[in-house]
Amino acid sequence: MEYPDPKRKSNFVGKILMAATLTALCIIMLKQSPNFNTRSRFSEHEEGLIHVLVTGGAGYIGSHAALRLLKESYRVTIVDNLSRGNMGAVKVLQKLFPEPGQLQFVYADLGDLKAVNKIFSENAFDAVMHFAAVAYVGESTLDPLKYYHNITSNTLVILESMAAHDVKTLIYSSTCATYGEPEKMPITEETPQASCKLGFMLNHFAIFLFQSIHMEKLRRWQRISSWITQRTQTRQ
Ligand SMILES: NC(=O)c1ccc[n+]([C@@H]2O[C@H](COP(=O)([O-])OP(=O)(O)OC[C@H]3O[C@@H](n4cnc5c(N)ncnc54)[C@H](O)[C@@H]3O)[C@@H](O)[C@H]2O)c1
């Protein structure tokens, strides 16, 4: 006949107690971490507080816009895929605004419909400032479809998610190329806007046409808009 070894039994109970203590400790630590506490704050509308989704907030314009918003006491969620931006800029913002519910960073690509929808379902946004884009003129002429894809179809993902979650305010950053070839540098607030704006506006207007036109027509659109850009630039 076999008898249970009381030493083995107490070892077993000791291990269970140890595991339970460690689990409890982990839960307490998780609850105290800033991410745990802020998640719920971002998911609820708060009286008198405007929550802005800043896409491309790790980039040049987006990070400055986020800084200004945070200084003005807005709640900010930055979404960026870090393809161009700089996580260092986000870290500076996180250091400056460490309070729970002020700023959160979400790593995501706007081309990922599922991820974008998840972001909108988990957060209560009041407005979107859309800076996620690719913005190099030279590169855009070498690889126009990459640009159309990121600027047009990815923006539609944002617009559709906004519509689905009843977010009605969008600030869309169009282009910095509104000065043509300025006669005097640096460009200031007084520098006159140049007529080449039309070509770039047409390029950006393609966003509203993207869903209904075929790729081949898209290439034609690119040629037409760069032709208009050239003409308006040479006329100056
Ligand atoms: N730089 C300027 O002087 C200026 C002036 C006026 C308007 N703009 C416009 O502002 C926008 C941003 O310009 P920028 O100079 O800040 O560029 P940037 O490259 O510094 O920033 C763009 C950010 O968007 C992110 N991004 C790009 N594609 C993404 C995607 N699919 N999903 C998630 N994140 C993505 C990049 O990682 C980057 O952090 C552009 O539309 C540009 O035309 C720029």
Residues with CB under 6 A from ligand 1: 56, 58-62, 80-85, 109-111, 131-135, 150, 154, 173, 175-176
124, 153, 173 — which closes off a domain?
173
Distance of CA 60 from the midpoint of ligand 1 (Å): 7
Q: Who has greater pLDDT, 185 or 95?
A: 95
Q: Domain for residue 222, yes or no?
A: yes
154 & 62 share domain: yes
169 & 52 share domain: yes
Chain mean pLDDT for the chain: 81
- From the CA of 83, give the closest atom in ligand 1: 37
55 & 168 share domain: yes
- From the CA of 154, give the closest atom in ligand 1: 31
Q: Domain for residue 210, yes or no?
A: yes
148 & 53 share domain: yes
Q: Domain for residue 25, yes or no?
A: no
69 & 157 share domain: yes
Q: List, as one string, the DSSP characters of the chain.
A: -----HHHHHHHHHHHHHHHHHHHHHHHHHHHSHHHHHHHHHTS-BTTB-EEEEETTTSHHHHHHHHHHHHTT-EEEEEE--SSS-HHHHHHHHHH--STTTEEEEE--TT-HHHHHHHHHHS--SEEEE--S---HHHHHHSHHHHHIIIIIHHHHHHHHHHHTT--EEEE---S--S-S-SSSS--TTSPPPTTHHHHHHHHHGGGTGGGS-HHHHHHHHHHHHHHHHHHHHH-
User: Which has the minimum average pLDDT: 56-70, 87-101, 104-118, 208-222?
Assistant: 208-222
Most confident of 168-177, 201-210, 212-221: 168-177
Distance of CA 124 from the midpoint of ligand 1 (Å): 23
CA atoms within 13 A on the CB side of 134: 23
185 & 168 share domain: no
- Token readout for 68 is 């200004």
The CATH number assigned to the domain holding 100 equals: 3.40.50.720
Q: What is the pTM of this model?
A: 0.72
| pLDDT of 145 | 87
Number of domains in the chain: 2
How far apart CA 55 and CA 75 sit, in angstroms, is 14
51 & 150 share domain: yes
User: Which has the minimum average pLDDT: 21-30, 93-102, 150-159?
Assistant: 21-30
Q: Domain for residue 32, yes or no?
A: no
123 & 211 share domain: no
51 & 168 share domain: yes
Domain that holds residue 230: 177-236
167 & 195 share domain: no
How far apart CA 114 and CA 95 sit, in angstroms, is 30
Q: Domain for residue 2, yes or no?
A: no
Return the percentage of the chain with pLDDT > 90, whole number.
Answer: 47
Q: Domain for residue 166, yes or no?
A: yes
Q: Domain for residue 26, yes or no?
A: no
| pLDDT of 159 | 94
pLDDT for residue 50 is more than 50: yes
Grade residue 215 by pLDDT with cuts at 50, 70 and 90.
Answer: very low
167 & 184 share domain: no
158 & 220 share domain: no
Distance of CA 59 from the midpoint of ligand 1 (Å): 6
Please provide residue 127's backbone torsions phi and psi, each rounded to the nearest 5 degrees: -155, 160
